[in-house]
Structures are given as C-alpha cells and as structure tokens.
Amino acid sequence: MERTLVLVKPDGMQRGLAGEIIARFERRGLRIIGMKLMRIDEALAKRHYAEHEGKPFFAGLVAYITSAPVVAMVLEGTDAVKSARTTMGVTNPAEAAPGSIRGDFGLERGRNLVHGSDSPENGIRESELFFRPEELVPWTRSVDGWVFE
Ligand code: DAT
Ligand code: MG
C-alpha cells in the first residue's frame, strides 16, 4: 500500500477544474486520506521542489505554484504513485495521452494542472511536508466496505 501527494495546481484552480481532477483519482479507486485548500508559501515550494533547485525553470516553477490556492491531497492505494501518475499523464501536456488529466486539459509544460509524487519515498516525504499526522484519516476495510476508522 502506497501514499502519494497530489496537488491541484493554481491553473487547475483558476480554470475551475478542481472537482473534475479530484473525481478522476476518486473514480480510479485511490482513497483520499487527507485533503485541504491551502496557499503554498515560498519556503514550502522550495522544499517541495528541492530536486529542481538550480535548474533554469526553478524560479518560474516556484512563482507558479505559489500564485494561487491549491487543493492538496494524500491518496492511498495499491501502487498509488504509479496509478496517480498514469491518471495525470506525462509532465508535458503536449505529449500526454488523451484520457489523462494533462492530456485532456493541458497544452503547456509550465501549466500542467496537477502534481503527483514520483516515487514511494517521495510520496511519504511530500505527504509529511504538507500534512500533520493528525490531518490524515486512514480508511479500514469492514464487512460493509470501506469505512473511516
Ligand atoms: P512532474 O510534475 O511530472 O513530476 P518534474 O518533477 O520533472 O515533473 O517537474 C516539476 C514541474 O516543473 C513540472 O510539473 C513542470 C515543470 N518543469 C519540468 N521540467 C521543465 C522544463 N524543462 N521547463 C519548464 N518547466 C519544467
Ligand atoms: Mg516531479
């Protein structure tokens, strides 16, 4: 069982696509165990995207992700990292498959609507960066199906 951090990025919010984007992960079968509307500040943006520090697009990336509120979610499920990323489509929306979020709603790499962690380790790291432990509400299986603990 894996966890991944998913963000509806500022362009997704500004275009009114948050519900559409969340619904796609939900219908895929990934369980939402944390969710909030928040504004990412510069310090959090730099920690979140630390792997890209020094690259030519880093400053623009930080400006973009801090430019408007985002919906942050922790999703849990089998192969959650890979499953979320196939639902998202590849980084550059121009190359993303139709049927994926980026392939259906995006054209520009710098406005690609959604973030998802790229490894199970980063799924944990990023979830902990955005959520306190008490903000996460794991599900448990019961005879009645999936219920909150
Ligand atoms: P992803 O968001 O698919 O995990 P990434 O981690 O490689 O992609 O990059 C983070 C974000 O930075 C990405 O969503 C869009 C932007 N980005 C990546 N590569 C870029 C590039 N060569 N030029 C401009 N923006 C880029
Ligand atoms: Mg990435």
Q: Sign (positive/negative) of CA torsion 74, 76, 82, 85?
A: negative
The pLDDT, as a whole number, for residue 142 is 61
The pLDDT, as a whole number, for residue 138 is 86
d(CA 129, CA 143): 34
d(CA 145, CA 85): 26
User: Comparing C-alpha atoms, which of 120, 48, 118, 125 is closest to residue 77?
Assistant: 120
Q: How many whole angstroms from its chain centre is CA 15?
A: 16
Name which residue sits closest to atom 22 of ligand 1, judged by CA.
57
User: Comparing C-alpha atoms, which of 64, 53, 69, 56 is closest to residue 108?
Assistant: 64
The pLDDT, as a whole number, for residue 1 is 83
Q: Which ligand has the minimum distance to the alpha carbon of residue 9?
A: 1
pLDDT tens, residue by residue, 2-56: 999 999 999 999 999 999 999 999 999 999 999 999 999 999 999 999 999 999 9
pLDDT tens, residue by residue, 83-107: 999 999 999 999 999 999 999 999 9
Residue 61 in contact with ligand 1 by CB distance below 6 A: yes
Is 48 catalytic? The answer is no
Residue 109 in contact with ligand 1 by CB distance below 6 A: yes
Among 57, 113, 115, residue to substitute to test ligand 1 (most atoms within 8 Å of Cβ): 57
pLDDT over 90 at 139, yes or no:
no
Band of the pLDDT at 119, cuts 50, 70, 90?
Answer: very high
CA of 130 to the centre of ligand 1 (A): 19
The single-letter DSSP state of residue 55 is: S
CA of 61 to the centre of ligand 1 (A): 8
**Across residues 55-70, what is the average pLDDT?**
98
9, 48, 102, 115: which one is catalytic?
115
Ligand 1 atom nearest 90 alpha carbon: 3
pLDDT over 80 at 144, yes or no:
no
Q: What is the pTM of this model?
A: 0.95
